[in-house]
Chains A and B, each alone.
Chain A
Amino acid sequence: GIQVEQSPPDLILQEGANSTLRCNFSDSVNNLQWFHQNPWGQLINLFYIPSGTKQNGRLSATTVATERYSLLYISSSQTTDSGVYFCAVPSSYNTDKLIFGTGTRLQVFP
């Protein structure tokens, strides 16, 4: 089955710093989502981005489907950005069943 790898596994930043999180996947996909799991455990949708680039405030994401990776950019990080960031892709092409990466744990300190 499809493999999803995220890097780095852990990231520690000071407030105001920028960061890039990476998601690699082993097969063609037509769906990719980025989520933020906050310290209370809630999964928050960040981006639905099968291809191309999207921006939402300080966050942006780029998926290059032909090269099987996606990047999540966080600029001017804030303490509220802390938590775990997951990417998820379909378990096979054109299915709704998601396979999650193991996540990047981000800690932002004041």
Chain B
Amino acid sequence: DAEITQSPRHKITETGRQVTLACHQTWNHNNMFWYRQDLGHGLRLIHYSYGVHDTNKGEVSDGYSVSRSNTEDLPLTLESAASSQTSVYFCASSESRGGAPYEQYFGPGTRLTVT
């Protein structure tokens, strides 16, 4: 069965360190997304990609970067981790249908703690 996986599932890091969260999907979807979930804010979009070598900023992109070198993977990098980036991170993917939005499927999430 096709799926979307994230690793690690839990991570503790120190302020100032670079951290990379992995996201891998086997749906062969063109579209991939990163969200963060915080109490009181729900899920918010960080970055997204519509295909290989395409990346775009979402509503809370400061301090994060992504790169897309193949269809299956969209790693999320925190360049210099800050305590404000303690959160649960979700990756998602969806089909492209000529620009029309379609159903997004979510990974299991990564709980990141920055101390």
Closest to B109 in A: A41
Whether the Cβ atoms of B101 and A94 lie closer than 8 Å is yes
Residues 71-115 (chain B) with a chain A CB within 8 angstroms: 88, 90, 94, 99-106, 108-109, 111
* Cross-chain contact A42 with B101 (CB below 8 angstroms): no
User: Which residue of chain A lies nearest to B107 when distances are taken between CB atoms in the complex?
Assistant: A43
A83 CB-CB contact with B under 8 Å: no
A-B contact pairs, 8 of them (CB 8 A): A30-B101, A31-B102, A43-B106, A43-B109, A48-B102, A96-B33, A96-B104, A98-B104
What is the interface size of chain B, counting residues whose CB is below 8 A from a CB of the partner? 24
Complex-state Cα separation, A98 to B104, whole angstroms = 9
Q: Chain A, interface size: which category?
A: 20 to 34
Chain B nearest CB from A9 CB (Å) reads 12
B31 near A: Cβ within 8 Å?
Answer: yes
B37 → A minimal CB distance (Å): 8
Contact flags A37-75 to B (C-beta < 8 A → 1, else 0): 000011101001000000000000000000000000000
Asked if A107 CB lies within 8 Å of chain B CBs, one says no
Extra contacts, 11 of them, besides A31-B102, A94-B99, A97-B33 (Cβ < 8 A), are A30-B100, A33-B103, A33-B104, A43-B109, A86-B42, A88-B43, A90-B101, A96-B31, A96-B101, A98-B45, A100-B42
Q: In the complex, A96 Cα to B47 Cα: how many Å?
A: 12
CA distance A98 to B101 in the complex (A): 9
